[in-house]
Amino acid sequence: MSSKTLLRKNHFKDPVAYLLIAPFYLLFLYFIFIPAVEVVMYSFTDFNMFAPKHFIGLQNYMKLLKDDVFLKSVKNTLIYLVCTIVPTMALGMLTAVVMNIKWVRTKAARTLVFTPYIVSMVAVSMVWMLLYDPSHGILNRILQSLGMSPKEWLLDPKWALFSIIMMSIWKGIGYNMIIFLAGLQGIPQDYYEAADVDGAGKWHQFLHITIPSLAPATFFLFVTGIIASFNVFEQVNVMTAGGPVNSTTTVVHQIYLRAFTEFKMGYASAQSVVLLLGVVLITLINMKFGASKHKA
């Protein structure tokens, strides 16, 4: 009997499967799938937790366009996105390349670089708040010893978002490094040997072998990096609570404030839908152009 007929014979044969997927699937539907539909429905209502909700069409969305704080949060989120992704990926790739050199003793160094990624965002936020402390934080002590004037890092609207960005880059390098390292280890050594024979220099090899071979990893990190940036919240809420004067508020921080301190669930849902559209758009682009990663 060929395996194909065996398969057909077995078709519909395992009703026990429904029992096995039921707990997972019901939880998935109830806590992920249905809420995703509901958040869209809420966004067309004036839902505020205390009164019955009414359908109000696109009013929430119209209001969003005139909400300066929300627009500011979109702008901050985009600044955060651009300013974290590029340095994190560049530094992640650089670290991975160094850690991948055979004779560099890397296990310990690799673990150290990955550590910030393991430690919770709350914990690293507290640590960086100490580093940024205007009077006894180490950053200002270093600046002063170099003869520069100290800064009010998290208290100055000019510097606050930048301060959060610096911390986030530091936290993200380890993750990028691990993904790039996996990519590097997938490059066949023959490529480099052939290039050596052809007399190509190290820099040339890096540009023409390493970088192209890392394209799938780069693309993956780029897409996940964008989605993660859309959702930035924890470090903002812990370190600055969106201040000073909304200079660090982000889209998710706005959703949190509107929904869970003001209970404007309908309005906050419209903000969530904006975020969801962004994520879906990036995911679709990923599906269209990311297919090449399976070839590598």
Closest to other proteins by CB, 26 vs 194, is: 26
Q: What's the gap between Cα 284 and its chain centre?
A: 17
Q: Which of 277, 285, 295, 284 is nearest to 74 (CA)?
A: 277
- Residue pair 235/126 in contact (Cβ under 8 Å)? The answer is no
Closest to other proteins by CB, 211 vs 279, is: 279
Q: Which stretch binds other proteins (CB under 8 A): 57-65, 69-77, 198-206, 250-258?
A: 250-258
Q: Which stretch binds other proteins (CB under 8 A): 63-71, 148-156, 168-176, 189-197?
A: 168-176
Q: What is the CA radius of gyration of the chain?
A: 24
User: Contacts with other proteins: how many residues (CB under 8 A)?
Assistant: 98
- Residue pair 164/240 in contact (Cβ under 8 Å)? The answer is yes
Q: Which of 212, 204, 181, 177 is nearest to 90 (CA)?
A: 177
- Residue pair 63/268 in contact (Cβ under 8 Å)? The answer is no
Mention every residue, 6+ apart, whose C-beta is less than 8 A from residue 245: 157
SS3 of 262, please? coil
Closest to other proteins by CB, 118 vs 245, is: 118
| Length in residues, the chain | 296
Closest to other proteins by CB, 8 vs 194, is: 8
33 belongs to the binding site for other proteins (CB under 8 A): yes
Q: Which stretch binds other proteins (CB under 8 A): 55-63, 68-76, 193-201, 228-236?
A: 228-236
86 belongs to the binding site for other proteins (CB under 8 A): no
280 belongs to the binding site for other proteins (CB under 8 A): yes
7 belongs to the binding site for other proteins (CB under 8 A): yes
**Partners of 45 in beta bridges:** 55
Closest to other proteins by CB, 194 vs 260, is: 260
Nearest-approach distance from CB 198 to other proteins, in angstroms: 23
* HSE (side-chain half, CA atoms, 13 Å) at 270: 23
Q: Which stretch binds other proteins (CB under 8 A): 21-29, 60-68, 146-154, 205-213?
A: 21-29
Say how many Å lie between the first and final Cα of the chain, rounded: 36
Closest to other proteins by CB, 112 vs 194, is: 112
| Candidate list 55, 82, 148, 186; residue touching other proteins; CB under 8 A | 186
246 belongs to the binding site for other proteins (CB under 8 A): no
Element (H, E) at 82: helix 68-99
Closest to other proteins by CB, 247 vs 269, is: 269
Q: Which stretch binds other proteins (CB under 8 A): 56-64, 103-111, 147-155, 205-213?
A: 103-111
Closest to other proteins by CB, 194 vs 206, is: 206
SS3 of 45, please? strand
| Candidate list 14, 193, 196, 262; residue touching other proteins; CB under 8 A | 14
51 belongs to the binding site for other proteins (CB under 8 A): no
261 belongs to the binding site for other proteins (CB under 8 A): no
Q: Is the dihedral of CA 195, 198, 199, 201 positive or negative?
A: negative
168 belongs to the binding site for other proteins (CB under 8 A): no
Amino acid at 62: M
Angle at 236 between CA 235 and CA 242, to 5 degrees: 165
